[in-house]
Structure 1
Amino acid sequence: MPDCFEFKEDDISLTPIWAILPSLPLECWHPNTLGKIGSRLDTPIAMDSLTMKMERVSYPRILIEVDTSKTLVDQVEFKLPNGVIQKQPIVYEYTPKFCIECNRFGHHKSSCHDNHQQAVATAAVGNPAAITKQAATKKTLPTEWTLLE
């Protein structure tokens, strides 16, 4: 990483995710074909060794860098060498939660802490008891890292 590297705001939501292509015909297990399919998902990075060596023939697995602020692709269509159109489902091993409101991983916009605090403050303007009730039920979040030994 270069000295004084700074993240751009749109780079924060990029993360690698393993994608599984269930029931993909064996003729499509070529690195170029998997790369083209991966490009339809986002940016292909690699495929696992079992896929490369065709040691697990139940499904290929490819690593894709995706923008988690966007909806993940759940199916791609392509034409097989015999002319048949293949509708290929995509299964992600893990789908990270990313909030486009505060640019953080761990939750979606609908459950954003910042949105929740703003909604409570707005509701409390006409109802002071709401602040007291919210303060009584609020869980405290850790503010520092804790080292486990």
Structure 2
Amino acid sequence: MVGERASGNSGENGAMVVEDDDGGARESLDCGPEGPPQDERHKGAEPIQVGSKRRVVIPQRDYESKRQNFRFALIRMVNFRLISLDALRGEAREKWNLSQGVLMHPLEKGYVIFQFQCEGNKTTVWRRPPHRVGDQVIRFQYWKPEFNIQEKQSFTKLVWIRFPDLPLEYWHENVLLSIAKAVGCPVALDRQTRQGLLGYFARVLVEIDISGLAMRVEKVQVERFEPSTSQVYGFCQKVVYEDNVERCGHCKRVGHLISKCRLKKLDDEKQCAAEKLAEVPRAVYAVEDGVDSTRANSVDRLSPILEGN
């Protein structure tokens, strides 16, 4: 598996820079009672047999050195039926305006790691709106250590949120970022909010989860202490999202509407079943023929007739 650099500057002799990408399955192993001595952590150790497993300690310094190469990396799933890796490299070279280029490592299941050479390039690309390359929209997420394509991943995006009707005394950067933590990972305030130019709403850029299981926060309970007292004061703050992501009004999750909500369908089926069980047939009693009228009220001589029979 190889990673190819997409940059405005070619390597020597006009060749593209190519770098091998480490791959392979990983398995979580028991650490054992004690770790290896400090010197062995840096040079590794000989494999040993632990039960039915063969245990090996890798060189710690070499691992950390390789991990540092991905500290400015982003990751995204790409549909290669709609776009080629060459088209991605061309898009990065011509339109991303990168100062030091980017390495692209294709993985299985359509995942691609975009390994930037500096934090500035990574941040610039991350904060841009979703990239459209051909017929596909590319949205990035942060790469994290131990990323495994076999595990279900959660996808994030940057979204501007508003806090409408928030009193101006709460328009401090640290206060606003603290409130935004209830929604997602706060990134920054917009210029007008930071300078207090408009008092209609405070605006914060946050990173939020947009996977199928994500639930959006619509209200935040904000609390503080009354000045010079231990009395707690709180209020409910509304949250408004500035994006067009479909959100279900039933389960509050993103990615679908209420008309396609599987949870609502299950809830409706359960409610329908409960209503049917509640409809117990009522018994109507009729007096048997030939029974003395003076004994007509005797329950022992009444024959039940079920409705619907």
Give the 3-state SS of the residue equivalent to 1:57 in structure 2: coil
1:43 aligns to 2:185 (yes or no) = yes
Q: Under a length normalisation based on structure 1, what TM-score does the superposition of the two structures give?
A: 0.60
Cα deviation code 1:110-142 (max 9, x no counterpart): 38xxxxxxxxxxxxxxxxxxxxxxxxxxxxxxx
Kindly provide the amino acid, as one letter, of the partner of residue 180 in structure 2: G
Q: 1:71 aligns with which of 199, 210, 215?
A: 215
Question: What's the TM-score, normalizing by structure 2?
Answer: 0.30
Identical-residue share of aligned pairs (%): 26
In structure 2, the partner of 1:120 is: none
Q: Is the 8 A contact 1:68 1:97 kept in 2?
A: no
Moved over 6 A (4+): none
Change (3 A) 1:81 1:29: farther
| RCO comparison, higher one (Cα < 8 Å, 6+) | 1
Displacement after TM superposition at 1:51 (Å): 0.2
Residue matched to 2:7: none
Q: Specify the SS of the correspondent of 1:45.
A: strand
Rounded Cα–Cα distance in structure 1 between residues aligned with 2:153 and 2:246: 16
Task: Indicate the residue corresponding to 1:54 in structure 2.
Answer: 196
Give the superposed CA RMSD: 2.6
Q: Distance in 2 between matches of 1:28 and 1:80?
A: 11
Distance 1:10 1:95, change over 3 A: farther
- Corresponding letter in the other structure for 1:10: Q
> Does the residue aligned with 1:73 lie in a helix, a strand or coil?
coil
- Larger deviation: 2-11 or 42-51? 2-11
SS in 1 for 2:159: strand
- Greater helix share, 1 or 2? 1
Secondary structure (helix, strand or coil) at the match of 1:77 reads strand
Q: Structure 2 counterpart of 1:16, which letter?
A: L
In our comparison, the structure showing a higher alpha carbon Rg is: 2
Matched position secondary structure for 1:17: strand
Q: 1:31 aligns with which of 173, 178, 183?
A: 173
Deviation at 1:80, TM superposition (A): 3.5
Give the partner amino acid of 2:242: E
Cα pair 1:80 1:86 within 8 Å, conserved: no
> How far apart are residue 89 of structure 1 and its match?
0.6
| Residues 80, 95 of structure 1: alpha-carbon distance in 2 compared, 3 angstrom cutoff | farther
Give the CA deviation at 1:108. Answer: 2.6
Residues 51 and 60 in structure 1, CA contact (< 8 A), matched pair in contact too = yes
Q: Flag structure 2 segments of 5+ consecutive residues without an equivalent.
A: 1-72, 74-101, 106-112, 115-142, 144-148, 227-231, 248-253, 262-309
Which residue is 1:15 aligned to? 157
What letter is aligned with 1:42? G
Richer in strand (by share)? 2
